[in-house]
A and B are shown apart, each in its own frame.
Chain A
Amino acid sequence: AQSVTQLGSHVSVSEGALVLLRCNYSSSVPPYLFWYVQYPNQGLQLLLKYTSAATLVKGINGFEAEFKKSETSFHLTKPSAHMSDAAEYFCAVIEGGYQKVTFGTGTKLQVIP
């Protein structure tokens, strides 16, 4: 079964600093990888999706992620953090004949003014 691992349950960055949230997938190459964002007491919203068309994927709100097969990674980055980026971020993978999406345990991003 496919799985993803998120390193770091909490990450703090200063406003304007680089954001790096880590995600590693299981050894077999998944068809799709995702990053979702969740603001407090809300549902999740898709940030970006990897579909094998391009290894560097650009998403909403200035976020992007790079698929690296050699490192089995799909880390999320943003060059300059904004206060509004404070939220919880989830990496996810599709499996089960495209029927099931499995989520990582999430990383809470704190942005310090």
Chain B
Amino acid sequence: DGGITQSPKYLFRKEGQNVTLSCEQNLNHDAMYWYRQDPGQGLRLIYYSQIVNDFQKGDIAEGYSVSREKKESFPLTVTSAQKNPTAFYLCASSLGQGRNTGELFFGEGSRLTVL
């Protein structure tokens, strides 16, 4: 089955540590996205990528980094510079590259808790 796989589903981190969230898709989609979800705030865009080796900052990129070395993969690193990293993180993909209709396909999410 085609889809998006996020791992780990739950992650605990000590303050000052970097952590990387994995996102892999086998939908052959060009575009990939990372959103952060907090109660009452909806989804906020962290980073997005329309093509391999290229990505753009979203609305809340500070304290996060990404890479897009392969079409299938778009890992997100939450750095120690992120002041309030405890949240639910969602990865998504879409057709992209001029074919985009806006429909996003989401993974199951990763819940990060900073202890």
Decide: A42 and B103 in contact? CB cutoff 8 A: no
Decide: A100 and B58 in contact? CB cutoff 8 A: yes
Given contacts A49-B102, A99-B31, contact A42 B42 (CB under 8 A): no
Contacts of B58 in A (CB 8 A): 100
Decide: B111 and A41 in contact? CB cutoff 8 A: yes
Given contacts A41-B111, A44-B90, contact A99 B100 (CB under 8 A): yes
Given contacts A99-B31, A106-B42, contact A94 B108 (CB under 8 A): no
Which parts of B2-52 form the interface with A (CB within 8 Å)? 4, 31, 33, 35, 40-45, 48, 50
Q: Is the interface of B mostly helix, strand, loop or mixed?
A: strand
Interface residues on B, range: 20 to 34
B50-67 interface bits toward A, Cβ cutoff 8 Å, 1 = contact, 0 = none: 100000101000000000
Closest chain A residue to B58, Cβ basis: A100
**Distance between Cα atoms of A34 and B103 in the complex (Å):** 8
Contacts of A106 in B (CB 8 A): 40, 42
Which parts of A1-42 form the interface with B (CB within 8 Å)? 9, 31-32, 34, 36, 41-42
A55 at the interface (CB under 8 A from B): no
Contacts of A102 in B (CB 8 A): 45
Decide: B100 and A98 in contact? CB cutoff 8 A: yes
B107 at the interface (CB under 8 A from A): yes
Q: Which of B48, B102, B106, B109 has the most CB of A within 10 A?
A: B102
Given pairs A43-B90, A105-B41, 4 additional interface contacts (CB within 8 A): A94-B100, A103-B42, A105-B42, A106-B42
